[in-house]
Amino acid sequence: MSMSRSVGALARMLLVCLAIFTGAPAQAGAWVAGAHGGRSFQLWVPEGYQAGAQLPLVVALHGCLQNPDQFAGLTRLNVKADAEKFLVLYPNQALFANPTQCWNFMLGSNQERGTGEPALIVGMVDLVKQHYAVDARRVYIGGVSAGAVMAGTLLACYSDVFAAGMVGAGAMYKAATTISGTAWAMSFGSIYHPDDRGRDAWVCSGRPRRTVPVLVMHGTEDDVVNPINGEQAVRQFLQTSDYGDDGVSNDSVRYVPTWTGSASVPGGRTYTVKDYVYGGELLARHFEVRGMGHAWPGGDSRYPFADPSGPDATTFMWDFFRQHALDAP
């Protein structure tokens, strides 16, 4: 590379880094790089972003053997962000923390509020809030596989930060607490009862008086994360909401769907949907995609872990998220 090209590349990199720390308006549909606590992240600033006009923020957690660029490509989330006008934060798992870039959701330090990887990710959210116009009532989190389990942990332990979450081919909060336990849970489901973990999640956020809406998507033929984990995640968060709506476990929110339906993608897969509506609020929605393995439904086939014949998970995720917002302080 010539000296002039090197200087030009360096200048562009410095301008990108400057944007995250100054909140300068990014170009239409632009990546901005940043770091917090020794971990990197990428922020997608949507087309038409105007400083001062508050936008929702979606935190997107990649799976194992992925990075932010690949997860963005797989999900087409940036395209949705440009169309619907929201920011997307992609934390990046460091190779020194996990050589396969899996989030270390099974470690005790990563299963509590204020410590480990969850605290680092929330610190990234806070950094973005400082420099971009974020609607703090509309911050959401979702992920796939290991990223989905970590998303569930953040939704559980920071329910005052995230208005809703999405668990894609993942598992419930604290489904496993050891590496060996993780292997068992992924193969056969967690040995822990979802109702007990539902209470643990409520406690982790400081026993908040709020429900915790969650969208769960899973393939019925997932041979990496047993589909029972999706069912457990739904039940766990419904139990968390049962505590959260009035402070006690009294079946005010139950693991009983209020609506069940099915549909098919033209030329693609059939899927079932179960809704859990309590107090007039859609607290959980569970998609089961028939015949799908360990994948992101409707993903771009150019990227690993895509199932293009499945329903558009990205659209369904955003449609679920935008129904929810935190109460005004």
Tens-binned pLDDT, residue by residue, of the chain (329 aa): 333 333 333 333 333 443 444 444 445 699 999 999 999 999 999 999 999 999 999 999 999 999 999 999 999 999 999 999 999 999 999 999 999 999 999 999 999 999 999 999 999 999 999 999 999 999 999 999 999 999 999 999 999 999 999 999 999 999 999 999 999 999 999 999 999 999 999 999 999 999 999 999 999 999 999 999 999 999 999 999 999 999 999 999 999 999 999 999 999 999 999 999 999 999 999 999 999 999 999 999 999 999 999 999 999 999 999 999 999 87
In a domain, 329, yes or no: no
Q: Which residues of 77-92 are buried (b: 16+ CB within 10 A; e: fewer)?
A: bbbbbbebebbbbbbb
Is 6 within the bounds of a domain?
no
Look at the chain and report how many structural domains it folds into: 1
Domain-located, residue 5: no
Q: Which amino acid is at 285?
A: R
Give a yes or no: residue 18 inside a domain. Answer: no
User: What is the rounded CA–CA span in Å between residue 133 and residue 223?
Assistant: 41
Residue 143 lies in domain: 31-321
20, part of any domain: no
What's 168's domain CATH number? Answer: 3.40.50.1820
H or E segment at 3? helix 3-22
DSSP string, 98-133: -TT----TTSGGGSSTTSHHHHHHHHHHHHHHHHS-
Q: Does some domain include residue 21?
A: no
Angle at the Cα of 302 (from 225 to 128), degrees rounded to 5?
75
